[in-house]
Amino acid sequence: MGGYARKAHSDIGWFTVLPNKNLSKKDSVMNDNASAAAGAAMGLGLVLFILLISLAFYVFYCFCAKRICEKCGVNPGILIWIPIANLVPLLQVAKMPIWMIILFLVPIINLIVAIMMWVKICQARGKSGWLVILLIIPIANLIFLPYLAFSE
């Protein structure tokens, strides 16, 4: 790519592209490293943002579960904030045996046990068991838990 000129077409018109002879190999590598660092920083920022949003949703879920337990007369204690262990107070509200946590670890069976648990929780809160259908409907499932937690 010596010192020749090449014509290229764009929407603006014709222009001439000349190679830049002033760039050394070192400058090119530095540009590549800067681009890679910028991409890595953006990726890390995105991952941290997603983690922060996920943490906020988890804290809100735990707070709603805590309110549900308290309204049903069960003291959830610290267990409600610990993953998997938060099922213990919820199973107590549903008046289901604690050993059913094991069934939450079995694929397909966990869906059935979760639906049974939430139906019983709805009934314990004085709501219809059919309210659990909201768990299946996208977007509506986001208001299911706050509704149970904050309604009378």
pLDDT above 70 (res 14):
no
Question: Does the predicted TM-score (pTM) go above 0.95?
Answer: no
pLDDT above 90 (res 107):
yes
**Is residue 149 within 8 Å of 65, Cβ to Cβ?**
yes
Encode pLDDT of 15-45 as tens digits. Answer: 555 555 555 555 555 577 778 888 888 999 9
pLDDT above 60 (res 13):
no
Strand extents, DSSP E, 68-117: none
Domain range list for the chain: 6-150
Nearest 10 degrees: Cα torsion 83, 84, 89, 95: 160
- The reported pLDDT for the residue numbered 110 is 94
* Residue 145: exposure state from Cβ atoms within 10 A (0-12, 13-18, ≥19): buried
pLDDT above 90 (res 91):
yes
Average per-residue pLDDT in the chain?
84
Q: Locate 44 and state its tokens.
A: 């890390």
